[in-house]
Amino acid sequence: LRANFSIIQKETGFVNGLICVLHDITEQEKVDAERREFVANVSHELRTPLTTMRSYLEALADGAWQDAEIAPNFLDVTRTETERMIRLVNDLLQLSKMDSTDYKMNLEWVNFVDFYDRIIDRFEMSKEQNVIFKRKLPKQAIFVEIDEDKMTQVLYNIISNALKYSPEGGQVTFSIKEKEDRIIASISDQGVGIPKENIGRIFDRFYRVDKARARKLGGTGLGLAIAKEMVNAHGGDIWVTSAEGKGTRISFSLPYERSEEDEWS
């Protein structure tokens, strides 16, 4: 709702009335505005790597290809940009699948502790930086109904951010907690953190605290937006706590029904 106020004033300066006009900004208008912004963002995000590639390719065509030192470097830039565009298009496809009304969830009962543990293993084996992994996982199995592919994507997006923003030798802690009717999984890092004023927006599509830095790290700005959509599709929530310069913790919940057997074990 938008409100416009007009004051009715006599020549003497005496105020004897107030008109208030209320405009109803419909849901549809909001959706349209968001869609326009999204398309503008997508175009911009695709144009940036394309124009970069064009200038490097032009330089190569103009003779740089003959320079044994410069040429591999320029080719490397164009390859990196191509890879980023592929990531971006893949992310966009994921989002558009989630947006369509007929997308399917392939739900299965999965021991979440095992599942989480296996994904952490994968990251631990392939990590290239010096980051210490710490797991605080329960010993007993916790069965939740999830779509494994989607949940893998959620964890992948969150964990790759934690690694991207971690300092050399930093610690990344993985935990699972049981609450009454849900489980909460968290990933904390000791990285750069997120300034207070930006915290509310990091799950928005294309939002990045530091565009230049995120771009250098290969980000698309869609990772957390996708994670949020997918967690919501499971009936869970996702949130962040962070202190600038100290670190970030991303947590998400999943509905969980404790069975009677669990109560007694």
Identify the residue whose tokens are 């004033």: 9
φ, ψ (nearest 5 deg) of residue 31 = -60, -45
- Beta bridge partners, 111, equal 143
When asked if residue 230 is in the footprint of ligand ADP (CB under 6 A), the reply is: no
Pick from 131, 147, 191, 238: which binds ligand ADP (CB under 6 A)?
191
When asked if residue 192 is in the footprint of ligand ADP (CB under 6 A), the reply is: yes
Of 142 and 214, the one with the shorter C-beta distance to ligand ADP is 214
When asked if residue 248 is in the footprint of ligand ADP (CB under 6 A), the reply is: yes
φ, ψ (nearest 5 deg) of residue 220 = -110, -15
Pick from 131, 151, 194, 230: which binds ligand ADP (CB under 6 A)?
194
When asked if residue 45 is in the footprint of ligand ADP (CB under 6 A), the reply is: no
**Which two three-digit tokens encode residue 30?**
């909001």
When asked if residue 208 is in the footprint of ligand ADP (CB under 6 A), the reply is: yes
Contact between residue 188 and residue 249 where contact means Cβ atoms under 8 Å apart: yes
Pick from 131, 209, 231, 254: which binds ligand ADP (CB under 6 A)?
209
Long-range contacts of 93-97 (CB under 8 A, 24+ apart): 94/153, 94/222, 94/226, 95/205, 95/222, 95/225, 95/226, 95/229
When asked if residue 49 is in the footprint of ligand ADP (CB under 6 A), the reply is: no
Rounded to a whole number of angstroms, the minimum distance from the CB of residue 162 to ligand ADP is 5
**Which two three-digit tokens encode residue 110?**
């999965």
Strands (E), the chain: 2-9, 15-23, 107-111, 132-136, 143-147, 171-178, 182-189, 238-243, 247-255
When asked if residue 238 is in the footprint of ligand ADP (CB under 6 A), the reply is: no
Of 178 and 210, the one with the shorter C-beta distance to ligand ADP is 210
Of 133 and 143, the one with the shorter C-beta distance to ligand ADP is 133
Pick from 176, 202, 238, 254: which binds ligand ADP (CB under 6 A)?
202
Q: Which residues sit at the interface with ligand ADP, rule CB under 6 A?
A: 157, 161-162, 165, 189, 191-194, 202, 207-210, 214, 219-225, 248
